[in-house]
Amino acid sequence: MYIHIISLFPEIFDSFFSVSLLKKSQKKWVLKVNFCNPRQFCTDKHQQIDDEIYWWWAWMLIKAEPIIEAVESIIEKNNLKNSDFKIIFPSPAKEIFNQKHSYTFSKQEHLIFVCWRYEWIDYRWELYMQKYYPEQFKKISLWQFILLWWEVATMTMIESITRLIPWVIKESESWQNESYSLKENMQNLEEPNYTRPENVKWFSVPDVLLNWNTEEILKRRKNNSISI
């Protein structure tokens, strides 16, 4: 999978992509990450990316055209067809990100994430995406809260999506049977799990897990998963 991130501060992602499974996935060429700073598409001398909001001068707004040009440059550079990619805009929205999105996006070859700062992005960038990329453009919220850095929301989505890509997590069992399973219509939470020692502060591991009876353990897993 190719992940393209449009951000004014790409250095925020340095540690995120340089540790653990995401680092290993890049070394194995399972995952390829590219960054694009929209300032390079600002045509003025100082590469000013923001300006005052019409009729509301208390906050600054990111200009639409540099963001549009950044998206278009990624599409053109990679010679993408409409079926090849999704444009994901983490933002306050009616649509809430969930495990179904993760599964769907994990099947894509290219994902383009658009991160924003200040008050927002000039709305005309959304109008442009809705007109020219109506099937590819997805405006999604993590939940009903606001962030300073929408790179954080992007990291969360990337973490959830990439873990479902084959070979990112070696043991597929670890993500095929878990909370919010599509098999359970996302209405389940994973059963409680334990490790050594057998006793911790007077709390013991359930006997069924100590007997190594596969049938009973699978039955316990089914009966102890918590319905939402």
Distances (CA, A) of 165 to 16, 98, 158, 171, 176: 17, 16, 11, 12, 11
Residues of the chain with pLDDT under 70: 58, 171-177, 224-228
Q: Is 186:180 a contact under the CB 8 Å cutoff?
A: yes
Domains and CATH numbers, the chain: 2-162 (3.40.1280.10), 177-227 (1.10.1270)
Q: Cα dist. 155→143, 150, 188, 225 in Å? A: 15, 9, 24, 28
Reported pTM? 0.89
d(CA 150, CA 115): 5
Residue 62 tokens read as: 């990111």
Tens of pLDDT, residues 129-166: 999 999 999 999 999 988 888 899 999 999 999 999 98
Instruction: Return the bridge partners of 135, or none.
Output: none
Identify the pLDDT of residue 149.
82
